[in-house]
Structure 1
């Protein structure tokens, strides 16, 4: 996959995951009402979200100035708003909404990876979680 056309050095390699600088948010936990079963809509459940947001961090590293990067809390707020917000049937929709809002609110982000985990799923057997993971590039999936 080619590099995004938004002026960064982010590129995809063999497995489609971008390379380069990124902000990393792991294990964000929220209670939401997503799923197709009535009890999921009524009672809700815990969701765990991981986000990688690719952007050029060289100037921030050189300057040690917050204005040259993006505060983690800005991404955290987007994730919280989506997961605690309007109920969706599919985790794919939750992940896509998070990615889209990150691109809309933060033009310096060139690519994003969003993983949505459901740790408490009614399945036979022992699991850590079930979920989805998406990778989106600004040049393909969002306006510049």
Structure 2
């Protein structure tokens, strides 16, 4: 099965980072979330109860990204994946990508970040 629900380009302002400047000034974080879900039942029923409500997933991600500051993107991604996998039993796998477009490091780039994939046990 290759069904997915995705939330792309979610933008949040936060103070996450290992560098003091990141904690003081803050920055915009871009989050992409992809959920592996069997969408067959929802496709037939036309009922939101038969899928994963992406508005609720957005609120879960927002609470973590705009919450208490942490040092590592890896930690934020783990928290997001754990929250989704533990609250939505239809999700078989969660992929989380977090990008910093303007971290305080010299150079020319579109962004830096991480991506994790976690199966739902």
Instruction: Tell me which interval the TM-score lies in, with the shorter structure as reference length.
Output: over 0.9
Return structure 1 stretches of 4+ with deviation > 3 angstroms: none
How many equivalent pairs are there?
A: 121
How far, CA to CA, are the matches of 1:125 and 1:116 in structure 2? 19
Matched, 1:32 2:17: no
Structure 1: gaps (5+ residues): 1-8, 10-19, 140-144
Q: Mapping of 1:15-30 within 5 angstroms?
A: 20-30=2-12
Distance 2:104 2:19 in 1: 11
Quote the RMSD (CA, aligned, Å).
1.1
Residue 78, structure 1, aligned to residue 78, structure 2:
no
- 5+ long unaligned stretches in structure 2: none
Distance 1:122 1:88 in 2: 16
- Match of residue 112, structure 2, among 117, 127, 130: 130
Q: Which structure has more strand as a fraction of its residues?
A: 2
| Displacement of 1:98 | 0.3
Partner of 2:84: 102
Query: Which of 31, 38, 41 is residue 59 of structure 1 equivalent to?
Result: 41
1:135, distance to aligned residue in structure 2 (A): 0.3
